[in-house]
Amino acid sequence: MAEERVQRRLAAVLAADVVGYSRMMELDESGTLERLQSSRQMYVLPQVEKHGGRVVKLMGDGALVEFTSVVAAVSCALEIQQIVAENDLNLPEEQRIRYRIGVNLGDLIVEGDDLYGEGVNMAARLQMLASPGSVAISQTVHDHVAGRLAVAFEDLGEHVVKAQERAIRVFGVSLGEASRAPKSRRLNVADVEADTRPTVCVLPFVNMSGDPEQEYFSDGITEDIIIDLSKVSALSVTARNTAFTFKGRAVDVVQVARQLRVSHVVEGSVRKAAGRVRVAAQLIDGARGNHVWAERYDRDLNDIFALQDEISTAIVDALKVKLLPTERQAIENRSTHNPEAYRLYLLSRHYLQHGIRHVEIALRICQRAVELDPNYARAWAMIAHCQAELHFGGRLEERGLSAAERALSLDPASSEAHAAKGRILAELGCFDEALALHRESLRLDPNSYDGHYGFGRTCLRLGRHEEAIEHFERAAELLETDYISPGFIAQSYAALGELEESISAARRALERAEREIALRPDNAHAVVSGAHALAYLGEFDRAKEWISRALIVTDPDDILDRYNLACASVKIGATDEALTLLESCVSDMPPEVVDWMKSDSDLAPLHRDPRFQALVEIEAKPEDAMANQAIKDA
C-alpha cells in the first residue's frame, strides 16, 4: 500500500484533564480510577456524542475531542462542567472529579484517527490555563461563538502559548446570568444553535423469562432498538455502552435523564417462552417522569423483526419527529429476517468473553445461523472473528479470511467484518492493509468494541504502544467485563517505561478478572489474566499461586493460556518455568504466534537465552508458509 499523504483540516478541538489527578491517585488509586471511569461514562462521553464530537484519544486523565462545529465544542465543554459540578456535590472535596477544559479552533494534521499540529497544542495549553471546573478558549473561538450562545466571557489577558512566539488572547467562558437563573434551569440543546433534536436513552430491557440464560435475548432486543433509533437523523440517541452502565440497577428515570442530559428515556422488559415473545416498552418524559407512550406486545417469535420495527416506529411517532423514507427502509432492512438465525446470533455473542472453549461454542452456533440464512452478514462476521481467534490459538486451520470477505460482500458497511479482516491481515503481516481496515471499521462504528480491540492488538504488534493504549482504553470502556484490554494497557505502559500507569492498569485487569472468576470459577482464561496482572503488580507470591491454579484448570491443548502463563512467569523471574511452558506448546503454534513471540515485550528478558532463540527460529510448516504467502499475494 502506498504511503498516506499528510492531510490537514480545520476543526475545533477540546482538551480536558482532571484537576489534582496525581494527588488523588496517591491517596486512593483504585477509587480515583473508578470515579474517573464513571465520570467519563456518565457525563463526558454522552455529552461528546450528543454534540457530535469524536473522541480522538483518552490518555490517563486526559481527553482530546474533535468537533466540526466550534459552537458545539463550547456547548459540550460547558455542559460537561455543569453536569459534573451538579452530580459531585455529595462527595468530599478531595474525591471530586473536576475538569479543566480548553477549546481551540485551528489547522490540524490528520494521521489515521489521530490529530497533531499547532491547533492541538494550543488546545492543550488553553486547558492548562483554565481554572478548575472552568473552560478556557482562544480569541478565535471567542469570535465565533460570541452572540451565538447564552454565555459570559472573562478576558484572561494575553499568554504566550507553547510552540508559538506570539502571545494570544485567552478568555474564560461560562454560562451567562440568564442561563443560570432560575437555579433549576440547565443549559440544554434549546439554548444553543448546535442541536435541537430530541435526545433519547434506551435503558437495557429487563429479562422477565425467569431464566438467566435468556439474558442475551433481552440485551439483543435493546441493542437493536438503539441501532434502529440511531438511524433516525431527527433523533440523538445515547450510545449502547453508556446505556448499559445502568443494567441490573434500580434507577430513577428522571435522575438518569438529568445525568445523561436527555429529554426522554425508553425502558421495558422481555419475556420469551414456548415460541412466543412478550415485550413491554414505555417512553418517558425525562423532565417530568410522565409516560409519553407505552405498549405491551404478545407475538409469535417469528414476528420478532416486525415487533422491533413497530416499537422503533412508535417511539419516533410519539416524539413527533419525521422519519424519512430512506431511514424507514434502513430500519426495516435487517441483516436477516430469519428469527431463529437471529436468536442464534445473539446467543453466540453471549459466549465470546469466556475463554477459548466458549469461542468454539460461539462458532458452532453461528455456523448453524448461516445454515438457516446463508446471507446473514453479521453472522458471517462473527464466524470470521471466531475462526481468527481459534486459528491464532492453534485450534483451527481456517483463519477466517473467507468468512470476513463473505460478510463484506453481503454488507460492505459492516464494521464487524472490517474489524475481523483487519485483525487477520495484521496477523499475516499485511500491516498497511490491516490499519486501513481498522480505520474504516471505526469510521463505520466509532463505538465498536471489536474495532478498538483489534486496532489495539495491531498497534501493540507494531510497537506503537501509545496508540495501542488509546484503543485498549476505549475497548475497556465499551465492555466493562473486558479483563484482557487492561492487561494489554499495563504491558504497553511498561514498554514505554511508565510504571505507575502500568501498575494502575494491571490493578484494573486484576479486579475485572476477579469479578469474572467469581461468576465463572472454571474460566481458565480469566485465571491466567489474573496471574499476569499480579505479576505486573509485583505480588509474586500471589502470582505463583494463581499460575499453579491456572495450570490445573487450563486445557492442556490451550497454547494461548500456556503462552500467557509463560509471560507471567517471566515477570516474576521464573525464566526456566517460562521457557518450559513455551517449549511445551511451540510445536502447536501457528506461524502468527511464533512471530508475535518475537516482538512480545513481556518476553524481552528471554531474548538472549539460547533456549528462547531456538524456539523463535522454528520455521513454519511448508504448507503454512505457502498459504500465508498466497494470502499476502492475493
Contact 204, 245 (CB under 8 A): no
Q: Residue 323's pLDDT is what?
A: 65
Give the pLDDT of residue 533. 94
- Residue carrying the nine cell digits 497454547: 559
Q: Identify the CATH number of the domain in which residue 599 sits.
A: 1.25.40
- Residue 294 vs residues 16, 240, 268, 285, 311: alpha-carbon distances, Å: 40, 21, 9, 12, 10
Is residue 110 located within the same domain as residue 246? no
Contact call for residues 424 and 399 (beta carbons, < 8 A): yes
Burial of 304 (0-12, 13-18, 19+ CB in 10 A): buried
The reply to whether 503 falls in a domain is no
- Of 185-189, 287-291, 309-313, 454-458, the one with minimum mean pLDDT is 185-189
Report helix angle 591-599 to 377-392, nearest 10: 70
**Is residue 620 pLDDT above 60, yes or no?**
no
- 447564552: which residue's cell? 150
Residue 354 pLDDT grade (very low, low, confident, very high; cuts 50, 70, 90): low
Q: Residue 186 pLDDT more than 60?
A: no
Which of 103-112, 120-129, 431-440 has the largest mean confidence?
Answer: 431-440
Q: How far apart are CA 75 and CA 194, in angstroms?
A: 8
The answer on 315 and 184 residing in a single domain is: no
Q: Is residue 229 part of a domain?
A: yes
79 in a domain, yes or no?
yes
Q: Which of 394-408, 420-434, 611-625 has the lowest mean pLDDT?
A: 611-625
Rg from Cα positions in the chain: 25
* In the predicted structure, residue 581 carries a pLDDT above the cut 80: yes
User: What's the chain's average pLDDT?
Assistant: 83
pLDDT value of residue 262: 84
Residue 344 in domain: no
Between 237 and 177, residue with greater pLDDT: 237
Candidates 381, 377, 376, 338; CA nearest to 362 is 381
Residue pLDDT, tens place only, 65-91:
998 888 889 999 999 998 888 887 777
> Both 251 and 148 in a single domain?
no
pLDDT of residue 176: 54
pLDDT band at 570 (very low <50, low <70, confident <90, very high): very high
For 269-317, the pLDDT digits (tens) are 999 877 788 999 999 998 888 888 999 988 888 888 888 888 888 888 8
- Do residue 125 and residue 68 come from a single domain? yes
pLDDT score, position 28: 82
Q: How far apart are CA 278 and CA 70, in angstroms?
A: 46
CATH of the domain at 244: 3.40.50.10610
Those residues whose C-beta lies under 8 Å from the C-beta of residue 211, and which sit 6 or more positions away, are none
- For 130, the domain range is 7-191
Confidence at residue 180, expressed as pLDDT on a 0 to 100 scale: 37
Same domain, 76 and 153: yes
Q: Which of 4-13, 399-408, 457-466, 593-602 has the highest mean pLDDT?
A: 399-408
**126/241 same-domain check:** no
Residue 519 neighbours by CB under 8 Å, 6+ apart:
none
Of 191, 215, 235, which marks where a domain is finished?
191
> Is the pLDDT assigned to residue 423 strictly greater than 90?
yes
Domain boundary at 167, 191, 215, which? Answer: 191
Angle subtended by helix axes 377-392 and 401-410, to nearest 10: 160
Together in a domain, 23 and 155? yes
C-alpha cell at 620: 513454519
Closest Cα to residue 81, out of 138, 115, 127?
Answer: 127
What is the pLDDT at residue 333? 66
Domain at 120, CATH number: 3.30.70.1230
Average of per-residue pLDDT across 155-163: 64
Centre a 10 Å sphere on the Cβ of residue 326 and count the other Cβ atoms it contains: 11
Residue 160 pLDDT class (50, 70, 90 cuts):
low
Contact 88, 98 (CB under 8 A): yes
Q: Which of 602, 601, 633, 596 is nearest to 616 (CA)?
A: 596
Residue 19 has pLDDT above 70, yes or no: yes
Best CA proximity match to 476, nearest among 486, 465, 491: 486
Q: How far is CA 541 from CA 94, 217, 454, 523, 569, in A?
A: 34, 42, 33, 21, 11
Q: Which of 296, 319, 334 is the last residue of a domain?
A: 334
Confidence of residue 553 (pLDDT cuts 50, 70, 90): confident
Q: Are residues 26 and 167 in the same domain?
A: yes
Q: Give the residue among 604, 539, 595 at the shortest CA–CA distance from 567.
A: 604
Q: Quick one: 114 and 140 in the same domain?
A: yes
**Are 387 and 400 in contact, with CB atoms under 8 Å apart?**
yes
Q: Is residue 454 part of a domain?
A: no
The count of domains in the chain is 3
Q: Quick check: helix, strand or coil at residue 113? A: coil
Do 217 and 186 reside in the same domain of the chain? no
Confidence of residue 178 (pLDDT cuts 50, 70, 90): very low
**With contact defined as beta carbons under 8 Å apart, do 337 and 305 qualify?**
yes
Residue 399 lies in a domain: no
400 SS3 class:
coil
The burial class, CB within 10 Å (0-12 / 13-18 / 19+), for 386 is: buried
> Does residue 530 sit in the same domain as residue 616?
yes
**393 assigned to some structural domain:** no
Do residues 291 and 284 make contact, with C-beta atoms less than 8 angstroms apart?
yes
pLDDT for the residue numbered 402: 95
Whose grid coordinates read 481496515? 437
Nearest CA among 601, 492, 573, 587 for reference residue 60: 492
Residues in the chain: 634
Residue 182 has pLDDT above 60, yes or no: no
Look at 193 and 229; give whichever has higher pLDDT.
Answer: 229
Which pLDDT does position 284 carry in this prediction? 92
The residue with greater pLDDT, 330 or 255, is 255
Domain presence at residue 411:
no
Query: Do residues 175 and 282 share a domain?
Result: no
In order, the DSSP letters of 335-386 are S---HHHHHHHHHHHHHTTS-HHHHHHHHHHHHHHHHH-TT-HHHHHHHHHH
% of the chain with per-residue pLDDT over 70 = 89
| pLDDT bucket at 177, cuts 50 / 70 / 90 | very low
Answer with the residue of higher pLDDT: 166 or 535: 535
Q: How far apart are CA 135 and CA 14, in angstroms?
A: 10
- Angle made by CA atoms 262, 267, 273, in degrees to the nearest 5: 160
Q: For residue range 218-271, what is the model confidence (pLDDT) as tens digits?
A: 888 888 888 888 777 777 788 776 788 788 878 888 888 887 778 899 999 999
Between CA 543 and CA 69 the distance in angstroms is: 50
Q: What is the pLDDT of residue 85?
A: 85
pLDDT over 70 (residue 185) = no
Percent of the chain at pLDDT > 90 equals: 28
What's the rounded Cα separation, in Å, for the pair 241 and 246?
Answer: 10
DSSP string for 171-216: EEEEE-HHHH-STT----GGGSSS----EEEEPPPEE-SS-GGGHH
